[in-house]
Amino acid sequence: MSRPPHILVADDERSIRLMLETGLTLNGFYVTCTRTGRETLEAARTHAFDAVISDIYMPDGNGLQVVRELRATNPKIPIILITAQGSLELAVEAVAEGASDFVAKPFEIAAIAALLRRYLDANREAEVPPPPEGESLLVELSRSRLVGRSPAMVAVYKLIAQAARSETTVLVMGESGTGKELVARAIHDFSSRAQKPFVSVNCSGLTDTLLEAELFGYTKGAFTGAAGEHAGLFEAADGGTLFLDELASTSPAFQTSLLRALECGEVRRVGSTQVRHVNVRIIGASNAPLRELVAVGGFRADLFYRLSVLTIDLPPLRVRTGDVDLLAGHFLRRFGDEGRSALRLSRESSEALGAYSFPGNVRELENALRRGAALSSDGLITLDCLPPEIAAAAGAADPASAAEAERKLVSDRPTMDELQRRYLQFILNEVGGNRRRAASVLGLDRRTIQRLIARYQLSAPADDETAADAEAPAEPDNDKEERLPDNQ
């Protein structure tokens, strides 16, 4: 019987150590725990570990220093970093120093165990080459404008860091306003092409002729208005990165031209026979589901697979738990730097932002706060400074409002008949109009519920079962004065 994989866990928090030690042991691993960077390096010198899980922040130094020293002595060992302070810069630096993976707190033991098995299996199947000496992805970190510490964004940071280390094409997918161009620019800024041009073009709203002329260039007289020779954006981005947004809006004819440029690294100006070679990294983006468009013939399959070598799916803001507050603080600081006084949110405004779903994502949040800053008095953004749809979310999320509505059910001393009518409507609202559930709650027959609904002319949408009841023979109505049960 082979020995279980030996895992080194380094974290200064006792609860985290205990959780990882217990959880991983139950998953078939043998675990040794350390508390500091010094203890971790000493353990690594005296024992042969199969993998390391380490907190980024250690009491006696930066966990990235531990990664650096561990990687220097054992280039193959999987190193998984965990942190509660996720950021793009941290992910890039962790990958640059040799971390195999980057996980945000809180995490699930099952996910950590699966991650360990994947890396250990990969080590057994193939030799993992050491990272090139002297390689560093670190550039001016202040250039990144991506903000967020949610697990969903940490996963995005990790993909950006990995994409920046390669030259492959990248496809960025996400709803409108999620920051696709920011991701593309971050990949460029953290790549070896950072000192070369980053060129962006929105493909929507341009005809094939204009788009090809914009990207590939044109010669004098190639079309009406072509008064001279013009280099395209492929040539302008030579050595750097070309970001193509809204690819779903392009035609099959243009997609054919783009595929040739991607595969051959060659462009030909409109109206010319001369081929020019360019060295451009392509990052594409779309808020439409390209894979689904491929399935129905709305997008070229070969171009999709050529673009989607590495795909980054951006999460909508509504699933980025905790990031709304971070983003709001980021935007308010930025607007303050633009010449306004220090900006801050009232309690009601902050609650409204937290309760709103933001269908327009980060862009909608930014614009809402820009409006709030413009309408604020002395820098305080109150509820009435926010867009009406966001301000309305505050009342919808206020539990006191629901409690007050329930109190009104009996506060005005109605008659027993009126009270019964209100209570039945209240229950129907609670169960979404479902007669079967209402009958279960009230202890009545469902057809009795149906008759009470008709009697009081209550609002309850018909369902399939109600339609079936209508077709069934009517039961004798022996109860002339139906009442809700007394125990209700």
Task: Decide if 337 is inside a domain.
Answer: yes
How many of the other CB atoms lie within 10 Å of CB of 276? 17
- Residue 136: pLDDT over 70: no
Tell whether 45 and 129 lie within a shared domain: yes
Q: What band does 368 get if pLDDT is binned at 50, 70 and 90?
A: very high
Task: Decide if 382 is inside a domain.
Answer: yes
Tokens 């508390």 correspond to 35
445 vs 19, more confident: 19
Q: What mean pLDDT do residues 108-126 have?
A: 80
Q: What mean pLDDT do residues 436-455 have?
A: 80
Last-in-domain residue among 256, 284, 313: 313
Amino acid at 83: T
Tell whether 85 and 208 lie within a shared domain: no
CATH number of the domain within which 86 lies: 3.40.50.2300
- Residue 142: pLDDT over 50: no
Structure tokens at 235: 């040539």
Output the CA angle 348-351-352, nearest 5 degrees. Answer: 85
Closest Cα partner for 215 from 238, 192, 185?
238
Tokens 């509504």 correspond to 318
189 vs 429, more confident: 189
SS (H, E, C) 152-187: HHHHHHHHHHHHHCCCCCEEEECCCCCCHHHHHHHH
- Residue 420: pLDDT over 50: yes
95 vs 160, more confident: 160
Tell whether 122 and 32 lie within a shared domain: yes
Tell whether 236 and 215 lie within a shared domain: yes
Structure tokens at 488: 């209700």
CATH number of the domain within which 280 lies: 3.40.50.300
Residue 463 has a pLDDT of: 55
Last-in-domain residue among 344, 375, 396: 396
72 vs 123, more confident: 72
Which domain covers residue 123, as residue numbers?
A: 6-143
**Residue 304 per-residue DSSP state:** H
Last-in-domain residue among 313, 347, 375: 313
Check: CB of residue 193 under 8 Å from CB of residue 239: yes
Residue 233 CB partners (closer than 8 Å, separation 6+):
199, 201, 214, 215, 242
**What Rg, from alpha-carbon coordinates, does the chain have?**
30
Q: What band does 1 get if pLDDT is binned at 50, 70 and 90?
A: very low
- Residue 108: pLDDT over 50: yes
Upstream peptide bond of 252 is cis (omega within 30 degrees of 0) = no
229 vs 283, more confident: 283
Task: Decide if 161 is inside a domain.
Answer: no
Tell whether 373 and 344 lie within a shared domain: yes
Count of domains observed in the chain: 4
Tell whether 302 and 185 lie within a shared domain: yes
Residue 16 has a pLDDT of: 87
Task: Decide if 135 is inside a domain.
Answer: yes
Task: Decide if 206 is inside a domain.
Answer: yes
Q: What mean pLDDT do residues 362-389 have?
A: 88
Tell whether 350 and 305 lie within a shared domain: no
Tell whether 197 and 308 lie within a shared domain: yes
Tell whether 35 and 137 lie within a shared domain: yes
d(CA 88, CA 90) in angstroms, rounded, equals 5
Tell whether 216 and 91 lie within a shared domain: no
Task: Decide if 158 is inside a domain.
Answer: no
- Residue 319: pLDDT over 80: yes
Task: Decide if 290 is inside a domain.
Answer: yes
What separation, in Å, do the N-terminal and C-terminal C-alpha atoms of the chain show? 64
Tell whether 306 and 331 lie within a shared domain: no
Structure tokens at 25: 């042991």
Tell whether 28 and 134 lie within a shared domain: yes
Task: Decide if 17 is inside a domain.
Answer: yes
CATH number of the domain within which 353 lies: 1.10.8.60
Structure tokens at 339: 């010449």
